[in-house]
Amino acid sequence: MQNEETISEINISQRPLVRWTLMFAGTVLVGIGILGIFLPLLPTTVFFLMAAWCYARSSQKFYDWLHHNRYFGKYLKSYREGKGITRSSKIATIVILWGGILYSIFVTNSLPIHLVLLAVAIGVSIHIFMIPTHKE
């Protein structure tokens, strides 16, 4: 069942070229979002949100698929509704983030790169901690 916010968000373009372009962009954004699950410096949810925007203007079917996907649909919905992310997701995100950052620092010999990586890790960690914690 669609709520009022979802209904107002969906506005399928009547122009085929626009629809196909947005559908393609949404699919690319989903792909980047999936990569973000595994790459610590690449955000995930923001790409799914942008994909949802593209799908809301190009395909009801893809929009519904994205929001009802068994792997990331519930996280997208919780984030969009302001409920936040689960404690286990926060822990996993922080562990993967810092593991990737520390590995990157270990394999590079540049102080400026080390400082940038640490700044990014601290900034992302603060952002993760500020997101509300949703009960599992």
Q: What Rg value do the Cα atoms of the chain yield, rounded?
A: 17
Confidence of residue 41 (pLDDT cuts 50, 70, 90): low
pLDDT at 62: 93
Burial class (CB in 10 A: 0-12, 13-18, 19+), 135: exposed
Structure tokens, 40: 């610590």
Confidence check: pLDDT of 22 > 70: yes
pLDDT at 40: 67
pTM of the model as a whole:
0.61
Q: Looking at per-residue confidence, does 56 or 9 come out higher?
A: 56
User: Alpha carbon of 117 to those of 108, 121, 136: distances in Å?
Assistant: 11, 6, 31
CA distance 106 to 15: 51
Q: Looking at per-residue confidence, does 48 or 8 come out higher?
A: 48
pLDDT at 44: 78
pLDDT at 1: 44
pLDDT at 38: 83
pLDDT digits (tens, 9 = 90+) for 79-130: 778 788 778 778 877 888 898 889 999 999 999 999 999 998 998 889 888 8
